Amino acid sequence: MENGAIMHLAVSPLPGTSEPSPGAEPDFSLLARFVQRAEAAGLDMVIFADSAPASGSDAATMPFEATTLVAALATVTSRIGLVAAASTVAHQPYNLARRFASLDIISHGRAGWNATMAQAPREAANFSRSEGFSGDDFRRRSEEYIGIVQGLWQGWDEDALKFDKSSGRFHDPEKMHLLDHKGEFFSVRGPLNVARSPQDRPVLVLSGLSAADMDIAARTADVVLLDSEPIESAKARNDDLKRRVAACGRDADAVKVLVNVSPVIDDKMAVTADRLEDMFRGKGCDGFNMLMPAELSALDDFVGLVLPALRRRGLFRESYRRTNLRSHLGIAGGGDR
C-alpha cells in the first residue's frame, strides 16, 4: 500500500428506493440484512439519511427515523459503524447529544452523527419556526450547536465511574464536568446524563458543506462528505481542507474526506474500481461514500465485484482490525479534558 494509506468506504442506502416488501409495513429485517452484509464485507460504516419533512413531492422516504433505526441495527451487528443523520433544527443540542451518546454505548463505540450544514427548505416550518434562519445565522448556529454537542460528549472523564459498592462512591465528582455554555443561540449547563463514549466520543460526519463552511469542518469534523469532482479539483479541495485542519492545530489526517459516488449500474464494476483507485491514488480523497438503493442486489454488486478488485490492488483492508468506528477510520479520540 502506498504510504500505508487505506481507503475508507461507507455506504448510504438511499431513502425511497427500498425493495417493496410483501406487507405494506416498513421492513426492518431488510435493512438489517443490508447492514449485516455491509459488515460482512468489512465496510467502515453505513450512513442513514433522515429526510424529515414531506417536501411536497410524493417520494417515499426511509420508513424509520434514523436514530431509532440505528439503535435497533446496533443490536444485530457487532463491528460496522452506524451513522444517523439528525437535524439541528429538529432537536435541542442537549437532547441530540444524549441520543447519540446513548447510541454509542448501545453499539459499543460504533455510532456517528451526520450533521448537515445545509438548511432543509421546509423543515423549520414543522418546528415552530416558520421564518427559518438566514444563511449566516444558520451557519453560526450550526457551529455553536456542534461545539455544544461535542463538549457535552466529553463531560465525563473516561474513568469517572467507580461502581464502588462498599464505599458508596458510584462516580468521582471531580471527573464530571459542567459545560456552562452561554452563546449567541444556546445556553447549556450540562453535564450529559449519559456516560462517556466507548470510542471517546461519537464520530461527527459533516455534509452539505459550502465553501464558507470549510473552516467549521476543519475545526470540528471527523469525516466530511463531499460531492464528486474531477481529480484535479478534488485534489485541490482535499489539500485545501487538510491545510485548514492543520491550521487549527489538528493532525491533517484527523479529518477523513469521503467523496459521494453513485455506482453507475451500466458500468462494468471494474470501471468503478478504476475510478475509485484513480481518485484515491490521485489524493482527491481518503475514501468514498457509496450512494445506492437500500437493496441487497445493489450492495451485492459492489461487494462482489468492486471490493475484490480494490483488495487485490491493496487499497482496502481484508477485515476489521478492531471494533469501534474511530479505529476503522484511523482517527483518534478527542482526548480527556
Partner 1 sequence: MTAASRQMKLGAFLWATGHHIAAWRHPKAYVTAGIDIDHYIQLARTAEAAKFDMVFCEDAAGLREANVAIASQTSRSIGFEPISLLSALAVQTSRIGLVSTASTSYNEPYGLARTFLSLDHLSGGRAGWNLVTSASPIEAANFGSTGLRPHADRYERAREFAEVVTGLWRGNPDGAPGHDGQSFSVRDPLDLPRSPQGAPVLVQAGASDVGRDLAARTADVVFTAAQTFEEAKAFYDDLKGRLAAYGREPDDIKIMPGVAPVVAETAAQAQEKYEELQELIPDDVGVALLSSYLSIADLWRYPIDGPLPELPPSEGMQSRQALVIEQSRRDNLSIRQLARHFAGARGHWRIVGTAAEIADELQARFEGGAADGFNVMPSFFPGELDAFATLVVPELQRRGLFRKDYEGRTLRDHLGLKRPM
Q: State residue 67 phi and psi, 5-degree precision.
A: -70, -35
Euclidean distance between CA atoms 255 and 246, whole angstroms: 10
Q: Return the residues of window 258-317 that contact partner 1 according to CB under 8 A.
A: none
Q: Does 95 bind partner 1 (CB under 8 A)?
A: yes
3-state secondary structure 7-43: CEEEEEEECCCCCCCCCCCCCHHHHHHHHHHHHHCCC
Indicate which single residue of 125, 236, 248, 270 sits in contact with partner 1 (rule: CB under 8 A): 125
Euclidean distance between CA atoms 269 and 264, whole angstroms: 9
- To partner 1, the closest distance from the beta carbon of 190 in angstroms equals 7
Indicate which single residue of 5, 14, 30, 32 sits in contact with partner 1 (rule: CB under 8 A): 32
CA angle (59, 90, 57) in 5-degree steps: 15
Indicate which single residue of 14, 30, 72, 269 sits in contact with partner 1 (rule: CB under 8 A): 72
Q: Does 194 bind partner 1 (CB under 8 A)?
A: yes
Long-range Cβ contacts of 91-96 (<8 Å, 24+ apart): 93/145, 93/148, 93/149, 93/152, 93/186, 93/188, 94/148, 94/152, 94/188, 94/190, 94/192, 96/149
Indicate which single residue of 14, 30, 105, 269 sits in contact with partner 1 (rule: CB under 8 A): 105
Collapsing DSSP to helix, strand or coil, 151 comes out as helix
Looking at the DSSP bridge assignments, the partners of residue 170 are: none
The C-alpha cell that represents 124 in the structure block: 423549520
> How far from chain centre, in Å, is Cα 225?
9
Q: Return the residues of window 127-166 that contact partner 1 according to CB under 8 A.
A: 127-130, 156, 161, 163, 165
Indicate which single residue of 21, 40, 159, 189 sits in contact with partner 1 (rule: CB under 8 A): 189
Total site size for partner 1, rule CB under 8 A: 60
- To partner 1, the closest distance from the beta carbon of 172 in angstroms equals 7
Question: Are residues 316 and 290 in contact, defined by beta-carbon separation less than 8 angstroms?
Answer: no
Collapsing DSSP to helix, strand or coil, 306 comes out as helix
Euclidean distance between CA atoms 209 and 226, whole angstroms: 7
Q: Which is nearer to partner 1, 164 or 227 (CB)?
A: 164
Indicate which single residue of 169, 312, 321, 322 sits in contact with partner 1 (rule: CB under 8 A): 169
Q: Which is nearer to partner 1, 199 or 238 (CB)?
A: 199
In the DSSP assignment, the letter for residue 184 is: S
Q: Does 186 bind partner 1 (CB under 8 A)?
A: yes
Indicate which single residue of 5, 90, 269, 332 sits in contact with partner 1 (rule: CB under 8 A): 90
Indicate which single residue of 21, 92, 210, 262 sits in contact with partner 1 (rule: CB under 8 A): 92
Q: Return the residues of window 50-69 that contact partner 1 according to CB under 8 A.
A: 51-54, 61, 63-65, 67-69
- To partner 1, the closest distance from the beta carbon of 151 in angstroms equals 12
Q: Does 48 bind partner 1 (CB under 8 A)?
A: no
Q: State residue 288 phi and psi, 5-degree precision.
A: -140, 150
Binding site for partner 1 (CB under 8 A): 24-26, 28, 32, 51-54, 61, 63-65, 67-69, 71-72, 74-76, 90-92, 94-95, 98-99, 101-103, 105-106, 122, 125-130, 156, 161, 163, 165, 168-173, 176, 186-191, 193-195
